[in-house]
Amino acid sequence: MISLNWVKDYVDIESEDLKELAVKITKAGVNVEAVMTSHIDHLVIGKVISCVNHPDSDHLHLCSVDVGEKVVQIVCGASNVREGIKVIVALPGCILPGEVEIKAGKIRGQESNGMICALFELGVEEKTEETYAKGIEEVHSSLKPGDDANIYLGTDDTVYELDVHKHRNNDCYYHIGFAYEIASILNKKVTLPDASYQEIKDNIKDYMHLKVDTPKCPYYTCKMVRDVVIKESPEFIKKRLIAAGMRPINNVVDISNYVMLEYGQPLHFFDKDKLGDNILVRDAKEKEEIITLDGQKRILKSSDIVITDGKKPVCIAGVMGGENTDVDLNTKNILIESAIFDAVSIRYTASNLNLKSEASIRYGKGLNFEYTDAALNRACHLLEKYADAKILSGVIKHDKVDKKEKVVTFETKEINTLLGITLTDDDVKVELARLDFPYVEKKGVFKVTIPRRRLDIDPNINDIAEEIGRLYGYHNLVSTLPLVPTRRGVYVGDVKIRKTISRRLRTLGLNETKNYTLTSSEAASHFRYENKEAVVLPNPMSLDKSVVRTSTLPSLIGVYEYNKARQVENILLYEIAKTYDKDYQEDTKVGILMKGNYLENAWQGIHVKCDFYCIKGIIENLLDYLGFKNRYTFEKATIPDLHPGMSAIIKVDKEMLGVIGRVHPSYQKDEIYVAEISMTKLYQKQVKPIKFKASSKYPEIKKDVAFAVKKNVEAETLIQQIRKSGGKLLSEIEIFDVYVGENVSEDEKSIAFSLTFKDPTRTLSDEEVTEVFEKIIREVEEKVPAKLRNK
Amino acid sequence: MKDLEKILSELEGKIKTIEKESDLNNLRVEYLGKKGCITALSSKIGELPPEERKTFGASLNETKNKATELIDAKKKELDGKALSEKLTREDIDVTLPALKVPVGAPNILENIIEEVEDVFMSMGYDVVDGPEIEEDRYNFELLNIPKGHPARDAQDTFYIEDETILLRSQTSPVQARTMLAAGGNTPIRMICPGKTYRRDADDATHSHQFMQIEGLLVDKDISLSDLKGTFDVIAKRLFGDDVETRFRPSYYQFTEPSVETDISCFVCKGKGCSLCKNTGWITVSGAGMVHPNVLRDCGYDPKVWSGFAFGFGAERLAMLKYGINDIRTFYQTDLRESSTFDRKDV
C-alpha cells in the first residue's frame, strides 16, 4: 500500500491525475492493482451567510452559502444550521457514499443548489441516533470557503495497492523507493526527507558495547536517545500509517514503522534500561528460548540469529523483539537498531517459527546498507521532533558489508540489438538520467553504476536494457521475426512415436485421458506386474497424492469409475504417460481400458462386445501399424489384478513389453479389459521400412481341416505345428471355428482351420497340395497331439 | 397376306392382356416356337406359285420380326415393372440411427498443445521432451535460481530428495538440457510441452499438476522485437487474425528483460467484459530474453549468442479458447464431454 500524499513529500506529482499515473506506472512494469481513494468530488467548504426559515416548512431553512466562487441558496433541515458557521457543502454533481447524487432542484418550491452535509452522510461516521442528532458538521479550521473539504475530512489521500513482481518488491514497497520509480517515469527528481538533528555531548560508546559474532549479520548499527515522551503521534503520521495499512499506537512505535515504510529498513527499538550495556549478535543455540513481544514462547534453532544482552536473547534478529526489552509507556531511553541480516536465514527463521512480521518480510528480501544509516538518522530526527528525544552523539557499528559497486559497461548498439530498437547515445543518456543511474560516457561507451537501492539489478547489459526498455515502452516495439533459416520443426526422440501411437489409438476408437502422476498408495498397490518399487514423496500434500505411479492402469480404473458413476456404458480409454520407479528410471507406458460395446447399433442388433479378443485386436493392430507384424506373441500368465484365466503377457522379439487381460472380478465386478505396454522399450526396437510386395498371379488352393485337442492345448501350438509342416507352399492359416460339445470328448475341443496354399511362381497341382496337406495332418496328429475330425 | 396381318393384330391384342412373364413366354412359343403359327406358315411357301413365293417370304419375315419386336417390348415392360416392384419392397427408413463408428477423442490439453506445436513447427521449432523427475540443477540452478533464492519458495516444489531430486516445477529444465546437449555452438529452436508439478491444493483454478508449453530460440542478434513478432504469429493463429498483442514488463529469473504477453480480449474485442475483467486484455504467457547467466551456464557465450524464451500454460490456453472454467476438467475425462473434441477446429 502506497500513500500518494506521502509520496508527494519526495517527488512532485501535484499536477498528475493519479489514475493516469497508475496506468503509466503499470505500463512501466510495477503493477498498480487498485487505485483507492475516499476522495469525494465537488465537496467544498462553505460559509453560511444568512439563514432564514423556509416559508412552507416548519423545520427547513433557506441558507445563502458562500462556496468560494459564488453564493448559492441551499435548503437545509438540520437544527444546528445558522448564520456565520463554516460547513461542508456537496455541490451539484457530487456523489456521496451510497451512490447518492446531489442535483440542483426545488424543495417545497424553493431552489436548492446543493446539500450541507453531516459527517454520517459523508461516510466518515456511522449513521446512528447520536450522529444524526449532531446535525451538520461545523467546520472549525482555517480552511476558506471554496477549499476542498476532503482536506478537512482527511479523505484527500489516494492509495495504490501494488502487485509487484518479486524482484521489484524491495524497492517499490517503501515510499522513497516508489518515489524513485515515479520520478523515472515522469522524468523528475527525488527529494529525500530531512534527517538532521542535534546531538548531546554524551556518546553512545560510553554506554553501549557491541559485538557481532555471526557472519549472518554483515551490518549492525545503533543510535541511543534519552528522555523520550511517549504520546500520540502527530496527525500526518497517523493518517499515513493508516493509509499504508498499519495501526497507529504511539509516537515512538509509530516512528519506527513510519521510517520502515519510508526507507524499507525495519528498525528495532530496545528499552535501553531493560537491555543493559551490551549487545551481542550471534547464532542461536539449539532449543534456546525467548518470549517474543506478542507473549509467545519461541524455541529457536541454531540456524536462527539472535540479539542478546551478552547472556540471554532479547530479540530474534529480523523477525521479532523480545518481551524482556520491549518499549513500553514508561520507557525513557531507547537504543535504536538498524541492521542487515542474511536474507535467506531470516526467511528460513520466519517460516520455521511461522512468524511472518513486517520486519521479516523486508529482511527476507534483502536491504541496501546506505538506507540502513539513512533510516537510523531519519528516526533520530523524528524522535527529536515528535517525542522530545535527546540524541546521544556517535554510533556503535559493525560493518562487514560488501560495498563493491555494480558497474555495467556497454554501447548503445548492444541495447538496440537486444531490444530491436534504434536509440541514439543521447537517447540513452536521457533514459539513464531519468533512472537516476550515475554514468560516464566516453566515445560511445557507457559506464553505469547501479544505485544501491536497486538490489534487483545485476550488472549486465540485459538488466540495463530492461530498465531502458520499460521506460521506452514495450508498446513502442515493432514486431519482427528472427532472421533464421526456414525449415519445418520435427518431433525429437520418442515424441514422434508417442504421437503416432496416440493418433492410432484414437482411430481405433479409444479416448485419450490425462491423469495425475501422483497417486495414493492404495491405487499404486494395483497392477504391480513388474514388481517395481515406487517413489514415495517424503512430504506429500495429501495421502491420495503421495506416490509416483509405476503404471497407468490404476488411473484408468479411476476414469472408468468416474464415467460409470455418470451412466456412461461404453468406456474405451487410453493414456500415454511417463512412469518412474524408485531408481528414477523413466518408462513411458501406453495403457488401455475397454468396457462395454466396442461397436454397436442397437436397433439393428449389432453389439460387438469388448472382450479379450477385442482388446487383443487393438494391441495387434497397433503393433502391426508400428511395423512389428509377426514379431509379437501373447503368452498366458498369472498377473496381479487380472483374471487368471484371461490374461497374458505381451512379448515383442521375445522380450516382455506389457500385459493384457480382464480385470480380476475380485477387484472390479464389471467385465473390464486392460492392456499396458512399455513405449520406452518399444521405441528401442528397430523397424524395417515398408517394401512393396506384389500379389501372386497364380491361383491359390484352399483346404479346410479340423482337429480335436485337449482343452488346455493352445491354438498357437497347433498353428505353429501346421506352419512348420506346411512349409513354403502354405501361405495362410485361418481359424474359422472353435467347438466344444456334442461329438467331441468332454476334455477336448475342436479347432477348425482353413489353409491356403500357393506358390508365387507357378500354378500348384492338386497332387502336391494333397501331399503337403496330408503331411500336415499326420504331423499335427502325432506331434501336438491331436485327432483329425471329419473334414 | 391378309392372314399375316390378322396374325399380327391378334398377337397385339393378346400381348395387351398379359401380366406375367410366363404367359409371355407361352405366347412366344405359340407364335414363334418351332411349332408356332408364324413358323408354321414358312412351310406353306412351297405350296405357293413360284412368282408369289418371294413376296410371301419377305412378308413372312417382316411379320416374324414385328412379332419378335412386340414380344420383346412387352418383356422389357414386364422386367421394368418387376424391378420397380422389387425396389419398392427394398425401401428403408433413412432416418433410423447409423452404426456408431468407434473413433476416440483427444484429451483437451493434448489438442491445444498440438495446435501450438503445429504453429511452432511451421516456424522451425523442434518439439522436445524431458524427464518429469528432475535434478535441482536443471530445474533451478542452471536457470539462474540458486539455492536460497526467493523464487524457489514461490514455486513450492515437490522434492523427492532434499534439495537434489524433485518433480519438475516447470518445463524450463528441458531448455537447459537442450542447450547443454547442443554444446554452445549451434542455434536452437525448440518447444517442450509437458507436465509440471507444484504444491497447490486442487480446486477450480489450481492444480498440483499442470502443463506448460515453453519454448526457446537461441541464435545471433536476436531481439525483444523478434519475440514480439513471434508472439504475434502464435496469438493470431490461436485466437484469430484480429487479436492485438501487447507486452508488459515482468520478471522471471531466467529471462531479462522479461515480459508478460497479452492479447486483446477476443470476446469483447477490447471493450471490456467479464473474461478480461474489464481491461480489454488477457494475459496468455510469460516471456523474455534469455538471461546471460543462463546462456553462460548452459554453455552459450552471451557475448556471441542471444535468444528468447516463452512459456504458455496449456490449461489457461484451453480454458480461454474453449470456455472451460474448471481446471479439473482436463484431468477427469468425462466421456460425455470429450467427444466434443473429436473434430477439426476452425
Q: What is the mean pLDDT of residues B7-25?
A: 88
Contact B124 A419 (CB under 8 A): no
What is the structure's pLDDT at A696?
Answer: 80
Three cell numbers, residue A208: 553501549
- Residues of A numbered 389-448 whose beta carbons fall under 8 angstroms of chain B's beta carbons: which are they? 417-421
Q: Are residues B83 and B148 in the same domain?
A: no
Could you tell me which residues are beta bridge partners of residue A606?
A601
CA-to-CA separations, A185 to A13, A366, A460, in angstroms, rounded: 11, 24, 22
DSSP codes of every residue in A119-155:
GGGGTSS---HHHHHH-SPP--SSPPTTSBHHHHHT-
Contact B133 A548 (CB under 8 A): yes
Q: Which of A765, A29, A70, A155 is nearest to A467 (CA)?
A: A29
What is the structure's pLDDT at A239?
Answer: 81
Nearest to A487 among B109, B124, B217 (CB): B124
The 10s digit of each residue's pLDDT in B210-266 is 999 999 999 999 999 999 999 999 999 999 999 999 999 988 889 999 999 999 888
The 10s digit of each residue's pLDDT in B258-291 is 999 999 888 888 788 888 888 888 888 999 999 9
Q: Which residues in chain A have Cβ-Cβ distances shorter than 8 Å to B248?
A: 26-27, 29, 474
DSSP state of B332: S
DSSP codes of every residue in A16-67:
S-HHHHHHHHHHTT-EEEEEEE---TTEEEEEEEEEEE-TT-SS-EEEEEE-
Q: Determine the Cα–Cα distance for residues A290 and A482; give it in Å rounded to an integer.
A: 60
CATH number at residue B130: 3.30.930.10
Choose the final residue of a domain: B89, B124, B144. B89
Mutate to test the interface with A, among B128, B224, B301 (most CBs of A within 10 A): B224
Predicted complex ipTM? 0.88
Q: Which residues in chain B have Cβ-Cβ distances shorter than 8 Å to A489?
A: 120-127, 189-191
Q: Are residues B53 and B198 in the same domain?
A: no
Assess contact for A243 and A159: CB atoms under 8 A. Answer: yes
Q: Which residues in chain A have Cβ-Cβ distances shorter than 8 Å to B224?
A: 418-420, 465, 469, 474, 477
pTM of the complete model:
0.81
Q: Determine the Cα–Cα distance for residues B287 and B295; give it in Å rounded to an integer.
A: 15
What is the structure's pLDDT at A166?
Answer: 67
- Residues of A numbered 284-323 whose beta carbons fall under 8 angstroms of chain B's beta carbons: which are they? none
Looking at chain A, which residues constitute the CATH 3.50.40.10 domain(s)?
Answer: 199-399
Q: Determine the Cα–Cα distance for residues A20 and A337; give it in Å rounded to an integer.
A: 39
Give phi and psi for A564, each to the nearest 5: -60, -40
Nearest to A506 among B106, B161, B249 (CB): B106
Q: Which residues in chain B have Cβ-Cβ distances shorter than 8 Å to A458?
A: 256, 293
In a domain, B94, yes or no: no
Q: Determine the Cα–Cα distance for residues B332 and A514; give it in Å rounded to an integer.
A: 8
- Residues of A numbered 603-642 whose beta carbons fall under 8 angstroms of chain B's beta carbons: which are they? 603-604, 606
- Residues of A numbered 529-548 whose beta carbons fall under 8 angstroms of chain B's beta carbons: which are they? 535, 537-541, 545, 548
Q: Determine the Cα–Cα distance for residues A573 and A577; give it in Å rounded to an integer.
A: 13
Choose the final residue of a domain: B89, B118, B144. B89
Q: Determine the Cα–Cα distance for residues A368 and A339; give it in Å rounded to an integer.
A: 10
Q: Are residues B66 and B197 in the same domain?
A: no
Architecture of domain A43-153: Beta Barrel (2.40)
Q: Are residues B269 and B195 in the same domain?
A: yes
Nearest-Cα distance to chain A for B197, in Å, is 9
Q: Which of B180, B184, B199 is nearest to B130 (CA)?
A: B180
- CA closest to B231 among chain A residues: A479
> How many domains would you assign to chain B?
2
Q: Are residues B142 and B278 in the same domain?
A: yes
Assess contact for A623 and A629: CB atoms under 8 A. Answer: yes
Per 3-state DSSP, what percentage of chain B is helix, strand, and coil (rounded to 5)?
45, 20, 35
Pairing of strands B133-135, B165-167: antiparallel
**b/e burial code for range B67-98 (CB count within 10 A of at least 16 → b):** beebbeebeeebeeeeeeeeeeeeeeeeeeee
Residue B170, domain extent: 108-341
pLDDT beyond 60 at B339: yes
In a domain, B97, yes or no: no
Could you tell me which residues are beta bridge partners of residue A441?
A446
Three cell numbers, residue A102: 446531489
Q: Are residues B261 and B121 in the same domain?
A: yes
At residue B1 the predicted structure's pLDDT band, cuts being 50, 70 and 90, is low
Assess contact for A712 and A723: CB atoms under 8 A. Answer: no
- CA closest to A361 among chain B residues: B150
In a domain, B47, yes or no: yes
Q: Does B102 touch chain A (CB under 8 A)?
A: yes
Three cell numbers, residue A614: 477385442
Fold observed for domain A199-399: Phenylalanyl-tRNA Synthetase; Chain B, domain 3 (3.50.40)
Assess contact for A592 and A622: CB atoms under 8 A. Answer: no
In a domain, B96, yes or no: no
Choose the final residue of a domain: B89, B119, B137. B89
Three cell numbers, residue A615: 482388446
Architecture of domain A495-683: 2-Layer Sandwich (3.30)
Q: Helix A251-263 crosses helix A358-365 at what angle (to 10 degrees)?
A: 30
Q: Are residues B222 and B284 in the same domain?
A: yes
Low-confidence ranges of chain A (pLDDT < 70): 124-125, 166-167, 790-791
CATH 3.30.56.10 fits A2-38+157-186, yes or no: yes
Q: Does A486 touch chain B (CB under 8 A)?
A: yes
Contact B150 A586 (CB under 8 A): no
Q: Which of A267, A279, A268 is nearest to A207 (CA)?
A: A279
Q: Are residues B274 and B180 in the same domain?
A: yes
Q: Are residues B85 and B113 in the same domain?
A: no
Three cell numbers, residue A158: 489516494
Q: Does A518 touch chain B (CB under 8 A)?
A: yes
Q: Determine the Cα–Cα distance for residues B328 and B316; give it in Å rounded to an integer.
A: 12
Could you identify the residue written with the cell 535434478?
Answer: B135
Query: What is the side-by-side strand order in the sheet with A547-548?
Result: A518-519, A547-548, A535-536
Nearest to A166 among B162, B251, B339 (CB): B251
User: Sign of torsion, CA B146 B150 B154 B157?
Assistant: positive
Cis peptide before A689 (omega within 30 of 0): no
In a domain, B311, yes or no: yes
**b/e burial code for range A726-744 (CB count within 10 A of at least 16 → b):** beebbeebeeeeeeeeeeb
Neighbouring C-alpha atoms within 13 Å toward the C-beta of A217: 26
Query: In chain B, how long is the greatest CA-to-CA distance?
Result: 134
Q: Does A566 touch chain B (CB under 8 A)?
A: yes
Looking at chain A, which residues constitute the CATH 2.40.50.140 domain(s)?
Answer: 43-153
Nearest to B256 among A364, A463, A580 (CB): A463
Q: Does A480 touch chain B (CB under 8 A)?
A: yes
Q: Does A168 touch chain B (CB under 8 A)?
A: yes
Q: Does A565 touch chain B (CB under 8 A)?
A: no
Assess contact for A55 and A3: CB atoms under 8 A. Answer: no
- Residues of A numbered 26-45 whose beta carbons fall under 8 angstroms of chain B's beta carbons: which are they? 26-29
Nearest to B257 among A465, A578, A599 (CB): A465
Q: Are residues B30 and B112 in the same domain?
A: no
Fold observed for domain A407-471: Phenylalanyl-tRNA Synthetase; Chain B, domain 1 (3.30.56)
Q: Are residues B273 and B161 in the same domain?
A: yes
Q: Are residues B60 and B127 in the same domain?
A: no
Looking at chain A, which residues constitute the CATH 3.30.70.380 domain(s)?
Answer: 701-788
Q: Does B314 touch chain A (CB under 8 A)?
A: no
Q: What CATH superfamily is the domain A701-788? A: Ferrodoxin-fold anticodon-binding domain (3.30.70.380)
Could you tell me which residues are beta bridge partners of residue A270?
A335
Assess contact for A346 and A336: CB atoms under 8 A. Answer: no
CA A627 to chain centre: 44
Nearest-Cα distance to chain B for A597, in Å, is 10
- CA closest to A517 among chain B residues: B209
Nearest to A28 among B128, B150, B249 (CB): B249
Pairing of strands A209-212, A278-283: parallel
Burial of A26 (0-12, 13-18, 19+ CB in 10 A): middle
Cis peptide before A785 (omega within 30 of 0): yes
Assess contact for B286 and B310: CB atoms under 8 A. Answer: yes
CA-to-CA separations, A292 to A92, A320, A342, in angstroms, rounded: 55, 6, 20
In a domain, B127, yes or no: yes
